[in-house]
Amino acid sequence: MTTEIFGLKTEYLDLGEGDIVLFLHGWGSRADLFLPLAELCAKKYRVLAPDMAGFGNTAEPPEPWDVSKYADFILEFLKPFAPKSVILVGHSFGGRVILKLTERDLPFEISKIILMDSAGIKPKRTLKQRLSLIAYKTGRRIMSLPPLKALLPNAVENMRKKRGSADYNAASPIMRQTLVKVVNEDLTRDLPKIKAPTLLIWGTADTATPLSDGELMEKLIPDAGLVKVQGAGHYSFLQAPDYVARVFASFLNITEA
């Protein structure tokens, strides 16, 4: 299915009937990775899963967005469906957007939340990381001086590639700036305010959003439970699909037969 949000051609999944379950994907991902879980949920609910701006088959935003703008995007996407109640499901970056949504005065009730290997907690930099960042910024300023830039025109770009994450290096200029805006916002403050029953699903070997983040979320969200997926990494729902499906079915009262 295709719609237009803020002038951006937006592709999305739409399956089943009933109260809405909204799936939000992670950074660099797309909605159709949720298809097995979406088909499970569609046995009882109407499932919506958009490719968010800049991902999958949805166009990039015209300028760098922060998490609040992505929350605006999702609320605009939901308007035509006029839901009274929504179950929110987010993986990684999608979980970050969900946390931002919980700050809002929404036109619908959030009845349940499922966060899978969710982002939203800003990691504290070690001394080594802080010194490395200072060295990088200093080197970038020096290599940007006109004489050195003329002599070594690719030096700054090579430094960026060496330091940048895979997500950062793979992104377009607009999405790189978006990523910087997104990852530098700490949403820990929102966790104690979440009222909906919340299921946390986490891979024990996740290195992108470590298990300690899930444990902190379980501690700070008033009505939360953490399910650990042993040996799984950041995409626990893809690495242990049958196990995660059973957890979903139990939490959402879905009969799998």
Condensed to tens digits (0 to 9), the pLDDT of residues 44-84 reads 999 999 999 999 999 999 999 999 999 999 999 999 999 99
User: Could you tell me the pLDDT band of residue 146, with boundaries at 50, 70 and 90?
Assistant: confident
> How far is Cα 82 from Cα 107, in angstroms, rounded to an integer?
8
User: Could you tell me the pLDDT band of residue 170, with boundaries at 50, 70 and 90?
Assistant: confident
Tens of pLDDT along 196-216?
999 999 999 999 999 999 999
Say what the pTM is. Answer: 0.85
Integer CA distances (angstroms), 19 to 46, 84, 197, 227, in order: 6, 8, 16, 24
User: Could you tell me the pLDDT band of residue 145, with boundaries at 50, 70 and 90?
Assistant: low
User: Could you tell me the pLDDT band of residue 157, with boundaries at 50, 70 and 90?
Assistant: low
Q: Is residue 13 classed as helix, strand or coil in its secondary structure? A: strand
Q: What is the pLDDT of residue 133?
A: 42
> How far is Cα 92 from Cα 109, in angstroms, rounded to an integer?
22
Sequence spans of domains, the chain: 2-122+185-251, 131-172
> How far is Cα 89 from Cα 244, in angstroms, rounded to an integer?
13
User: Could you tell me which residues are beta bridge partners of residue 242?
Assistant: none
Tens of pLDDT along 8-55?
999 999 999 999 999 999 999 999 999 999 999 999 999 999 999 999
> How far is Cα 149 from Cα 222, in angstroms, rounded to an integer?
53
User: What is the CATH number that goes with domain 2-122+185-251?
Assistant: 3.40.50.1820
What percentage of the chain carries pLDDT values higher than 90? 79
Cα dihedral sign for 174, 106, 92, 57?
negative
Integer CA distances (angstroms), 122 to 181, 189, 244, in order: 12, 11, 26
